[in-house]
Amino acid sequence: MEEMEPVSSTSYRQLHENFMQNNSGSSLEDTIHVQTPLPILIFFSLLTTNYLSKELSAVTNNKLLNYCSIIVEIFLIVILQILIFTSLISDFICSILLVLSFFSILYVIFTYMKDAILEKCNSIILKRSALTGKRPYITYFRTSVNLTTTICILAVDFTVFPRSLSKTETYGFSLMDSGVGYFVVCNGLVGSNIDLHNHCPSRIHLVFKLIRKNCPLFILGLVRFVTVSNLDYQQHVSEYGVHWNFFITLAFTKVISSLLLTFFKKSFVRYLALATLVLHQSVLLSGAENWVLSDLPRNTFLSANREGIVSLLGYVSLYLISVDLGIWLKANNSTFEKDIARVCKLIFHAVFLYIIVHVLDLFFKCSRRLANVTYVVYISMLSTYLLSLCLIVELVLRLNRGPRKTSDNNGLIPVILESIDSNALSFFLVANLLTGSINLYLETLFVDSFYSILIIILYELILCIVFFLLREYNWKIYL
């Protein structure tokens, strides 16, 4: 590690907070580019582990195969992802991955087409294969978001992490700005809150039921505030406010959205989402935006937490958009043929939203701090784009297994991603605790590049191994 002069805890905290401030982010295209490799890494890890399973199944047992798989997956999915976010050669790695994946996918498709020509019945089996149960591509997306976020929340504290990827101060696009938006989308996609009112005798009972259901998030938000305050931990107040934080935003978003959904049929969710988004942007234009971004004192609870409170309606609209997307993605009687059409629709929507984001950014600069209309559309665009990549990966992997096994979901999810998915919130919480511990005992700004990357890799290794063992022994942390 580099030589460093003694720095008092107070001055270092100020130095750290200054380091995090006044970031303007990067371009929209750079943000897309840096997130593209992870689905591709998932694709290569599954190809590799499937190949190892075929070659080693005769000479070893399933438990050893699992351990081999986890080693391959940690290298291909976790360590390479860390290098992409922190290494100076990230653009080169991304380009190589894109080229390799393109030719690999072509190889798989043409290999299958040759078999289909020789055996036409296989193509009929392929088209009619029912794809049911928990779909792998949704797991790819949700766990990718979780994994990426846990890498970034620690990496951002080191100088090796590009400032263009860290959170923006007020306006702009960046990788870390997408984190809270992605978590809202993930909750909306898999949320089953639409029919909650059918099990509650009144709205009051429903409100209490929703609060009770999201109580862990409220508790985590309170614990984080108390811990940060008592430990004098560095905090970027303009992110959410003085007392507010990510967990409170997510909890209130789920409660408010779920309550709203009980008043409408599923077919009206998209209109509710649009109305909420228009209302939110109107509130911002009416003076709320200037108030949030002003230097006015934070002498009341409302003014102290104006970012978290004002942005809430934007996140509610994003949640509702995600619920509508989830209803469409979880449509019954899905087949391989229908999913090919679904990929095309997802790509079309991603391109369309990409254009809309550029247009909106001319009038309303993208702001995670406000969760304005441009930010909501931006996160929707990134989500549809990544979902389309994840679905392509799933379909190509099904092709690789052969038409007669197309409908089988076994072996289509990496072990490490299954481990994260089985304890998703706990994984994120433990990552936060480890990040806080590292920052308390280490002055991360003075650590050189090599040791910075080594610390981030060790941190992710601890997380992955712990949650792999939890899955291996069927232990679940309920939050």
Chain segment 135-165, per-residue pLDDT in tens: 899 999 999 999 999 999 999 888 889 888 8
Question: Band of the pLDDT at 128, cuts 50, 70, 90?
Answer: low
Mean pLDDT (the chain) is 82
- d(CA 80, CA 266) in angstroms, rounded, equals 40
- d(CA 80, CA 85) in angstroms, rounded, equals 9
Owner of token pair 């020509």: 117
| Residue 141, pLDDT score | 95
Residues counted in the chain: 479
Distance of CA 449 to the CA centre of its chain: 26
For residue 466, pLDDT beyond 50: yes
| Residue 102, pLDDT score | 64
Q: What average pLDDT does this structure show over 251-269?
A: 87
- d(CA 435, CA 433) in angstroms, rounded, equals 5
Asked whether residue 156 is assigned to any structural domain, the reply reads yes
Owner of token pair 């988004």: 277
| Residue 217, pLDDT score | 86
Question: Band of the pLDDT at 10, cuts 50, 70, 90?
Answer: low
Q: Per the structure, how many domains does the chain have?
A: 1
Q: Determine which helix (DSSP H) or strand (DSSP E) holds 191, and give its type and residue range.
A: none
What does the pLDDT look like over 40-88, one tens digit per residue?
Answer: 889 888 888 877 777 666 556 666 777 778 888 898 899 988 988 886 5
What does the pLDDT look like over 420-455, one tens digit per residue?
Answer: 988 888 899 999 889 988 988 888 888 888 899 999
For residue 334, pLDDT beyond 60: yes
pTM over 0.85: yes
Asked whether residue 164 is assigned to any structural domain, the reply reads yes
Asked whether residue 21 is assigned to any structural domain, the reply reads no
Asked whether residue 8 is assigned to any structural domain, the reply reads no
In 3-state terms, what secondary structure has residue 173?
Answer: strand
| Residue 209, pLDDT score | 78
- d(CA 212, CA 252) in angstroms, rounded, equals 12
Asked whether residue 448 is assigned to any structural domain, the reply reads yes
For residue 1, pLDDT beyond 50: no
> Which residues form the domain of 119?
26-473
What does the pLDDT look like over 376-427, one tens digit per residue?
Answer: 999 999 999 999 999 999 988 887 776 666 666 777 889 899 999 888 888 9
- d(CA 360, CA 377) in angstroms, rounded, equals 9
- The pLDDT > 90 percentage for the chain reads 35
What does the pLDDT look like over 271-301, one tens digit per residue?
Answer: 999 999 999 999 999 999 999 998 888 888 8
- d(CA 16, CA 157) in angstroms, rounded, equals 8
Greater model confidence, 327 or 103: 327
- d(CA 232, CA 407) in angstroms, rounded, equals 53
- d(CA 266, CA 262) in angstroms, rounded, equals 9
For residue 117, pLDDT beyond 50: no
Asked whether residue 459 is assigned to any structural domain, the reply reads yes
What does the pLDDT look like over 185-226, one tens digit per residue?
Answer: 999 988 654 554 455 556 677 777 778 888 888 888 888 888
Greater model confidence, 4 or 137: 137
- d(CA 233, CA 315) in angstroms, rounded, equals 27
For residue 266, pLDDT beyond 60: yes
